[in-house]
């Protein structure tokens, strides 16, 4: 096969799409229900801990909607002291 069709086939099949690395992924926002499930804390306990600075601060997503940055919540969980 020669000509324009061959040229198109060669160019289309040889084109590679670069892989998306996980480091270029945008920050994930975790909603209250998932934070409660992940941490085992109640909504009130999370609120109290935020106020005294022992839990990551929430991020406003709009009117009446909040979430937490996954990176901050996961770091908090990883660094949390064991409860006796």
**Mean pLDDT for all residues in the chain:** 81
**pLDDT reported for residue 84:** 41
Q: What is the CA radius of gyration of the chain?
A: 23
pLDDT at 27: 86
| pLDDT, greater one: 19 or 51 | 51
Buried b (16+ CB within 10 A) or exposed e, 7-23: eeeeeeeeeeeeeeeee
> pLDDT grade, residue 12 (50/70/90)?
low
**pLDDT tens, residue by residue, 25-61:** 678 999 999 999 999 999 999 999 999 999 999 999 9
pLDDT at 60: 94
**Residue-level pLDDT at 82:** 58
What was the pLDDT predicted at 26?
74
């Amino acid at each position: 096969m020669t000509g324009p069709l061959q040229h198109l086939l060669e160019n289309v099949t040889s084109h590679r799409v670069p892989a998306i690395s996980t480091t270029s992924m945008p920050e994930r926002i975790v909603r209250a229900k998932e934070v409660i499930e992940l941490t085992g804390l109640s909504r009130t306990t999370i609120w109290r801990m935020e106020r005294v600075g022992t839990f990551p601060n929430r991020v406003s997503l709009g009117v009446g909607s909040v979430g937490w940055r996954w990176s901050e919540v996961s770091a908090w969980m990883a660094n949390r002291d064991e409860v006796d």
